[in-house]
Structure formats: C-alpha cells, structure tokens
Structure 1
Amino acid sequence: MAQLEQFTTPVDAVVSRMRALDAALPARDGVAVFNRVYLTVTEEVDRRVGTGGFPDPRTAITLDVLFAERYLTAVEADGPDRRPPACWRPLLQFRRHPGVRPLQFALAGINAHIGHDLALAVVDACRSLGCAPAELEDAYDRVGDLLVSLEERIREELMPGPDLLQIADPLTHLLGSWSLERARDAAWSAARALWALRGLPELTAEFTDRLDAAVGFAGRMLLTPLPD
C-alpha cells in the first residue's frame, strides 16, 4: 500500500490541473469540451487503480500521468511565444469557431491525444520504469478499453438531437471516417517503432514529426465547420 500511495500525488496533480482548466474556460470552448471528457477518463482510471482494477498499479499510474502531462503541456503551450505540437493546433485554432460542434471538439482532442501523445507517453513510461513496451501492454489495453466505452457515451451525449438532422447527417458522415480503436492500435505500433528507434535520434525525430503532422491533419478534418 505504501508503494501505491507514492504514485497517487501525481494523479491528483494532473486531475487538479484539469479541474482548474474546467473552471477557467467557457463551457463551449473546444478545449473545455475535450477537457471534460478527459477529466472523466482520468478520474475513472484513478478509481479503478484504487479498487484493484489494474494488476500493476505502479505501471498504470505512471503511464496515466505521463500521458496526461503531454496534453496539459500542449494546452499550456498555446500562446504567441510558444508552439504546441501540430496534432493539437487544429483544436486550439478552432476552439471558438461557431460552426464546429461539441462532439467534433471532443473527438478531435481524443484524436490528438491517442494518435500522437499516447505513443510518446508509452516510450516515456518505458524509460521511467526501465522496461520495454511489452511490459506496459496490459495497462495500455485496460486504459484503451475504458476510452472506447467512454467514446460511445460521448457520441450519445453530444450528438445533436432529431430536431437538428440537417447537422447530424453531415456530422455522422464526417465522424464515421475516424475510429478510436484504429487510432489506439496505430498508437501501439507507433510506440513500438519509436522504442526500436530510440538509439537513432535523427530517425526518431523524423518519425515523431511525421506522426504529429499526420494526426494534426486528421484533427483538422474532424473540425470541418458544419452549417447551422
């Protein structure tokens, strides 16, 4: 139990930062929409760790915290003198666009965080824990399963109702082109590739830059403004 308590403070810290964002941002802000989703995920992971839902809580918490840190760092880098990763720029640029729906904001954030940040967080966790990606696979899969179940709930809660079918039709078409499960599988492959390339810094940087750009392109498509 003492070992588990050592790792609760970092989780509490990232949850506190997400709650502070939630309190500071307007409810309709695109980052605020994603932040509420991600806060729910992080709190649920923390709850499951506390109730024995992860066989290796140290690994799960390390991955969870390093994963969250990448999102929070990206959001905090949004400013005139700082440049966030390409995967986050579409959400940060379109966060107040009146033609973008809350569901688009939520899924664009999930796309950036899963498609780019998760692969890098796996490598971060491997370095922190002194292990290879295979040793994180169980925690990775359990967190991924939670994300998939929450994505279904997000779509149900944020999808426009029947009185907005003129929005729902193009929205359904747009969002049907993206899958969290495929993004999660791709992130695991990218993490393994980055780990294999860790001794080749130039190739690692090139791979990371291209991954970032590709995920950013997908995010821009998800944020296509729709007619009123």
Structure 2
Amino acid sequence: MENISQVLESLDEIINETEKENNVLGYFAVLYRRVTWKVKEAIENDYFDDARRMEQLDVVFAERYIVAYYKHKEKLPVTKSWQKAFDLATNFWPVTFQHLLIGMNAHINLDLGIAAAKVSEGKNIGKLKDDFYRINQILADLVEEVQLNLATIWPPLWYILKHTGQLDNLMTNFSMQLARDGAWRFAQTLHNPEGKEYKDCVQERDIAVAKVADIITNHKPGIRLLLGVIRLGEIGSVRSKMCKLKTITT
C-alpha cells in the first residue's frame, strides 16, 4: 500500500469479510477504519507539520495490522501481542469493549513504535514527536463517540457513564496516555538501540505487550461476574454490533 485510500480499501475488505463470517475481529477493524479516516481528514486539513510523512506513517502502521490479520487467517505465525487478540476472538465471554482494547493494545503498544521508527530511518526521530502526539489527540476525539456506540450495544453503560462522570475517561487512560508515551519511548529505542539487536528489542517489547493483554482478559471473580452480566446483556449479533460501532453517534 502506498496511500491512506488504499489502507481504507483494505480495511473495508476486512470489515466486509468479518461481517459475513459474524467474526468479532471485525470490532477492531471498524474502530481502526474510523481512526484512519480521521487521520486522512487531518492530513487533508493540514493538521500535521509534515503531511507526507504522516501518510507514510499511517500506511506503515496499518500494514502491520492488516498483514497480521491475513497471516492469522492463513494460520501463519504473528506477534504474541496479536495472537492474544486473535485467540480472544474464539471465546464467547469477552465483551465488545475487551475486543477493542486488546486490539488497541497490540497495535498501539507494539506496532505504532515500530512504524514510527521505520519512517524515521536515517532521520532525526525527534522531528516526528509533535505529529506523533497529534495522533493521540485524534484518538482522544473518538473516545466519547465510541463510548456512546458501546452504550447502544449494552444500554446500562450509558447510565453508568452519565452518572459516574467517566464519559471522557473510560478509554483514555488505557490507550491515549500510557500507551502513547510508551509507544514513543519504544520508537526511540528502536531508532537508537544502543548496541542491542533490532529484532531483540521488538521481541522484548512484544512479550511485555502480550502481558498487558492478560490484564485486559484476566480478572478477579467479581469483575468476571460483572463482565459476564454485561456480555449476556449485549444486544444483537456481531454484525449488528459492528454496524453500531460504525455509526457516528451524537
């Protein structure tokens, strides 16, 4: 792929395929398409310092997810981080939100740093930092939208968000702040590994990110019970949930 339009086409293919298969891997694909479209709009509106570089970053970043998805379909090895996400898809009990989080974990905590280092090869990676952090703002702008979408899948979530003041914080702490900062540090490490092998740096990071995936899926009995209640209360088929996640809710 050479541009964001091709990325969007590839994501549409994954979405169409997962819809037909009623496959929960489509949840992340839908979310990621929304993020990619927002990045495309931002590039066209001169939001970034270097639009050409950011399109390149977006393409390299997206390719890591798309390649991982098709490798999984072909039963080929993928990173431990992505394997955790793909394995979760065979389990009935995870709620929609967990599927989104575990995909975001692999893609932001591992893939984003790799992509940033790649587009900075032979260059000063520090010049990328401001635009790298602007990506975080684009993600943050989607927080409320996605939470409202999730509330249409499990209606009590809207009441909980409204009355606990968590409307802006449910996803932010996990993906937009801690993951962003970690991804930037990882990109710097890959750009200047200081005597370590590149592949060893990636492997170490992959193992650490896979452990974060366990935090998303393994909980104490009380939390598991609550998530089980949520899962049983989620409305609709996988396809209908994907449709709700696609919708821009206001």
- Alpha-carbon distance between aligned partners in 1 of 2:77 and 2:174, rounded to the nearest angstrom: 26
State the Cα distance separating 1:175 from its structure 2 match. 7.5
1:36 correspondence with 2:5: no
Q: CA RMSD in A?
A: 2.7
Q: Which residue in 1 is equivalent to 2:86?
A: 92
**Among 173, 183, 186, which residue is 2:179 paired with?**
183
Q: Which residue of 2 aligns with 1:56?
A: 50
What amino acid sits opposite 1:98 in the alignment?
Answer: F
**Structure 1 length as normaliser, TM-score?**
0.82
| Aligned mates of 1:126, 1:176 — CA distance in 2 | 27
Provide the residue aligned with 2:125 in structure 1. Answer: 133
Alignment of 1:62-81 (within 5 A): 62-79=56-73, 81=75
- 46-55 or 60-69, larger mean C-alpha shift: 46-55
Deviation string 1:186-206 (CA, Å, 9 cap, x unpaired) is 1101111111117642xx322
1:22 is aligned to 2:18: no
**Does the alignment pair 1:45 with 2:39?**
yes
Q: Which runs of 5+ in 2 are unaligned?
A: 160-165, 219-223, 233-250
Aligned partner (choices 147, 155, 158) of residue 139 of structure 2: 147
Deviation of the 1:210 alpha carbon: 1.5
Count of residues in Structure 1 that have an aligned counterpart in Structure 2: 211
Is the CA contact (8 Å cut-off) linking 1:105 and 1:223 kept in structure 2? no
| Whole-angstrom CA distance in 1 between matches of 2:158 and 2:39 | 34
Deviation at 1:15, TM superposition (A): 0.8
Tell me the equivalent position of 2:221: none
Q: Residue 195 of structure 1: which of 191, 195, 219 is its match?
A: 191
Q: 1:177 to 1:149 in 2, by over 3 A?
A: closer
Q: Distance in 1 between matches of 2:157 and 2:50?
A: 47
Give the aligned residue type for 1:223.
Answer: T
What percentage of residue pairs aligned between the two structures are identical?
A: 25
Answer whether contact 1:60 1:139 (CA < 8 A) is retained: yes
1:109 aligned to 2:67?
A: no
**Preserved contact between residue 2 and residue 59 of structure 2 (Cα < 8 Å):** no
Question: More deviation in 113-122 or 46-55?
Answer: 46-55
Structure 1 residues 142 and 33 mapped into 2: Cα distance closer, same or farther (>3 Å)? Answer: same
1:12 aligned partner: 5
What do the CA deviations read for 1:21-40 (whole angstroms, capped 9, x no partner)?
11111385332000100000
Partner-residue secondary structure (3-state), 1:100 = coil
In 1: Cα distance, 2:11 partner to 2:139 partner? 17
SS in 2 for 1:29: coil
After superposition, what is the alpha-carbon deviation per residue over 1:31-73, rounded to whole angstroms, capped at 9, x for unaligned?
2000100000101111111122223111111111111111111
Contact 1:30 1:91 in 2 (8 A): no
- 1:125 is displaced (CA, Å) by 0.7
